Amino acid sequence: MNSTRIDWCDATWNPVTGCLHGCPYCYARGIARRFGGWDYSSGHVRGNASADKTFICLTSETFRSWRCKVYLSNGQKIAELENAYIVERGNKTIKAPYPFGFVPTFHRYRLREPEATKTPKTVFVGSMTDLFGDWVPDEWIQEVFAACAAAPQHRYLFLTKNPERYVMMGELGLLPEHKNFWYGTTVTDDEAPLFWSELHNTFLSIEPILAPFIGSVRNKADWVIIGAETGNRKGKVIPRREWIDNIVANCREAGIPVFMKESLRGLMGSEFVQEYPWERTE
Ligand code: SF4
């Protein structure tokens, strides 16, 4: 697990990285490209020579890694790593964090990290991915859930742009109802689908807010996070004050705590709030 500058959690944990949604404002893609997509032609790759997994590659690319599998899921290339991809460069030994760049990758060797971290934390699971994307195998999600359940000292925040997957898993009885599991949906406009359930903790992450929200349907959540687009992207949307006021008014009416990201502090002035729902529900 890593410390983070994301202000609504204490830590991020990325047993899965990479995403295929293609959001134009994606920060994770840039990070993965900057620190990943390793130059496989140089450096020395180490690994477990007695690997029990066969290296399979269904693409024309060749990855020199031990205990690694690359295959197709829903027609999309995904990868699994059983152990960290370690590269030696000069005197340095480096664990490559994104050896396949932004290709969805399961870092199975990271599954014990929550258990190994004894101090309770609020953990954003999958800040570098969408764990519930259509291309993610059920087994990956279930292994992540199991790792979370094995470390109940933490609070886990999941977040997706594909809330239908929550619904599908819920219908199959595969979406845990643990009090310390929070299922979030990212929405950037008023038309996007969301997940709400009486059996689960849910939240909305309206980030970056790209348009006004007028629907009272947004009342269906246990927590609402709002944030503006940051960075220098061409076409960046600057939110209007009344967009935020309207959401806050909706939430106040429904008794929903609101968390504004730092990106809204200047816009909101004395009305800037950062509220958490934990005390009410856990
Ligand atoms: S869902 Fe998140 S990780 Fe995936 S492309 Fe969009 S911003 Fe990036």
- What CATH code is carried by the domain that includes residue 152? 3.80.30
Helices (H), the chain: 27-35, 113-116, 138-149, 164-171, 241-254, 265-268, 278-281
Number of domains in the chain: 1
Residue 270 lies in a domain: yes
CB of 32 within 6 A of ligand 1: the answer is: no
Sequential DSSP letters for 15-71: SEEB--S--TT-HHHHHHHHHBS--TTSSEEE--TT-SSPPB--SS-----SSEEEE
Indicate the top mutation candidate among 17, 25, 26 to test ligand 1's pocket, ranked by most ligand atoms within 8 A of CB.
26
In sequence order, the β-bridge partners of residue 18 are 129
The answer, yes or no, to whether any atom of ligand 1 lies below 6 A from the CB of 161, is yes
In a domain, 170, yes or no: yes
| Rounded distance from Cα 182 to ligand 1 centre (Å) | 19
Residue 66 resides in a domain: no
6, 14, 129, 157, best to mutate for ligand 1 pocket (most atoms within 8 Å of CB): 129
Report if residue 129 sits inside a domain: yes
**Residue-wise pLDDT tens for the chain (282 aa)?**
999 989 999 999 999 999 999 988 888 998 888 776 544 333 333 333 233 333 333 333 344 445 677 778 878 888 888 888 776 666 777 777 887 888 899 999 999 999 999 999 999 999 999 999 999 999 999 999 999 999 999 999 999 999 999 999 999 999 999 999 999 999 887 778 889 899 999 999 998 998 888 765 556 789 999 999 887 776 788 899 999 999 999 899 989 999 999 999 999 999 999 999 986 555
β partners of residue 122: 155
Residues of the domain holding 202: 2-13+111-281
Which residues have CB under 8 Å from 5's CB, separation 6+? none
- Please check whether residue 158 lies inside any domain of the structure: yes
Provide the 10 A C-beta neighbour count for residue 39: 8
Contact 219, 253 (CB under 8 A): yes
Q: Does the residue 74 lie in any domain?
A: no
Q: Give the C-alpha separation, 190 to 217, whole Å.
A: 9
Q: Is residue 86 part of a domain?
A: no
For residue 257, whether the previous peptide bond is cis, meaning omega lies within 30 degrees of 0, is no
